[in-house]
A and B are shown apart, each in its own frame.
Chain A
């Protein structure tokens, strides 16, 4: 909320002499910037808006988001509109270097020329320039060679702009325009291939995002959110939660906090309409969804029972001491559902336990008009309410899963350790390096063979 106020203030500062038309254009640009959630990457926790410097954890290393304030020395102050558009939609900087697709230019490529124009007006005139240069990104060889992205873009980047589907409603098209473009949902929710490209035939069927898992949000009733109504999805995007079903954490909580909660009712309805038309060709024919798992169950069977070694009730004790104070002794949450139940909850009902583990390790932070949602972390952080180790979190997770969630899922301490490290690493770097080594070896062999032939 504070950032919005800062943006509004910046707007006021320069708006005085602007024409009414310019005002409207800048406002439109600001709205699009919110919808695109530029701030999520380009503003650090206590930093100036859009001044960059935030390190984004990717499976191939840390990528530092740049300063996109209109600073002439440290930001995009010298960018023409074409250069701005190219950065946004083609992933090319003004100096010609390629951006890493952590910047979701593959999605922003959908943006129309008019919307890019509005964004440009907003960034150039309504954002306060900050003359602080950000650190450079240093990915391991060969990914530090940005030129490699030329080939990647050639394979996977589409042409800029959006072509409506005339057979669908205006709202559906607006929804697709936003989802494919500004709100870039597929960049998290669509699984990626070996070269880290989105797999279009599996669109929105779920993907790992660091320690978290962006779940299947197709309209399939078993694998996705098919059982949600239009209003359910709008509620979720506005508030970050849906009682008895799901709540947002990790990057999605950020997206709700900074972006979705500010979208208009019409836009949210449009997004919902589009999303409810997306199928999942690989979903099972039947079965229960991740929202239907588990039941209320007493967690205190160990009261009055002496400690045994090993402790039969280790999971229950961990739950009771660390979780039940907010989530209830039956995991039922509070009566007003502000603290959610842990059964009928996608975080525990999903087949992939990443979100359960990550929630315990990192907590939940969301801020919406409803209020401040804060679950403390239980990892190694100084602010952790309790420092739980990998084995404890695995024991606790398994107890929660088997009593309140998907009883078929089991968590190992190794999985928890990997989550602590930021999630599974990509083997892309290793393969790329191996590939180059192999190529270099082949070249060396060729040179030797040719040289020896010449000698004869």
Chain B
């Protein structure tokens, strides 16, 4: 579904915890525009919009808001400074008039702000925030690592072709498919 949907009435009564943990339920399946009603996210709404703005600057691909909401919820758990860091990243990007990551990443000073930037990129590419077995997963099919090879490889567990129809030439490494 490519259009945002009116939220069903019953969701107004969700508890804050449910909203925080089930942000996905609110934006189920959709690419919801950035103008999301603020009340829908309790206090995580404060950071959602800047978080997605930062994400889209750091990762210049189509990003799913639902995945973003889940990632934000995890980031918020152990980072009380998250809002400030997001603001700093936005400020750096603005100062470079950056629309792509290459234009402002070198200007990010090493330290916690750069660490957050790397963490956000990590999250979008892998669907989790750490390379450990106990990491929480926020996405699988939508992890960007699969998109870089979507022209030739399947996402594991999804069929690639009709029976015995997967023979294909070795495609070159470049160019990377558009996504």
Contacts and interface: CB of A to CB of B under 8 A. Distances in A.
A141 B64 CA distance: 63
Interface string A295-339: 101111111111010001100100000001110110000111011
Contacts of B137: 303-304
Contacts of A334: 159-162
A324 B28 contact: no
Contact of B22 (A299, A312, A329): A312
Contact of A298 (B22, B23, B29, B161): B29
Contacts of A298: 29, 64, 141-142
Contacts of B64: 298
Interface range on chain A (Cβ under 8 Å from partner): 20 to 34
A305 B22 contact: yes
A371 interface: yes
Nearest to B154: A334
B138 interface: yes
B29 A403 contact: yes
Given A303-B138, A312-B22, A338 B29 contact: no
For B21, B29, B127, the residue with the greatest tally of chain A CB atoms inside 10 Å of its CB is B29
A316 B136 CA distance: 20
B155 interface: yes
A329 B141 contact: yes
Nearest to B128: A304
B163 interface: yes
Main secondary structure, interface of A, reads loop
Given A300-B140, A306-B21, A325 B159 contact: yes
A305 B142 contact: no
Interface in A259-313: 295, 297-306, 308, 312-313
B25 A313 contact: yes
Interface residues of B, number: 32
Nearest to A330: B141
A325 B1 contact: no
A301 B24 contact: yes
B132 interface: no
Nearest to A302: B24
Contact of B70 (A305, A312, A313): A305
A408 interface: no
B170 interface: no
A372 interface: yes
A304 B136 contact: yes
Interface in B52-73: 64, 66-67, 70
Contacts of A302: 24, 28
Contacts of A295: 1-2
Contact of B155 (A305, A329, A372): A329
Contact of B165 (A300, A324, A336): A336
Nearest to B1: A297
A403 B2 CA distance: 11
A8 B115 CA distance: 74
B95 interface: no
Interface string B8-45: 00000000001001111101110000000000000000
Contacts of B161: 334-336, 338
Contact of A326 (B27, B29, B127, B159): B159
Nearest to B64: A298
Given A297-B29, A298-B142, A334-B162, A304 B70 contact: yes
B28 A301 contact: yes
Interface of B: 1-2, 18, 21-25, 27-29, 64, 66-67, 70, 127, 136-142, 155, 157-163, 165
29 contacts: A295-B2, A297-B29, A298-B141, A298-B142, A301-B25, A303-B127, A303-B140, A303-B141, A304-B24, A304-B136, A304-B137, A304-B139, A305-B22, A305-B23, A305-B70, A306-B22, A308-B18, A312-B22, A312-B28, A316-B28, A325-B159, A334-B160, A335-B160, A335-B161, A336-B165, A338-B161, A338-B165, A339-B162, A403-B1
Interface of A: 295, 297-306, 308, 312-313, 316, 324-326, 328-329, 334-336, 338-339, 371-372, 403
Q: 9 closest Cβ contacts across the A-B interface?
A: A338-B162, A304-B138, A301-B28, A305-B24, A304-B70, A301-B29, A329-B141, A326-B159, A298-B29
Given A306-B21, A313-B28, A338-B163, 18 more contacts: A297-B1, A297-B29, A298-B64, A301-B27, A302-B28, A303-B138, A304-B67, A304-B70, A304-B138, A304-B139, A305-B22, A312-B25, A313-B25, A316-B28, A325-B159, A328-B158, A329-B141, A335-B160
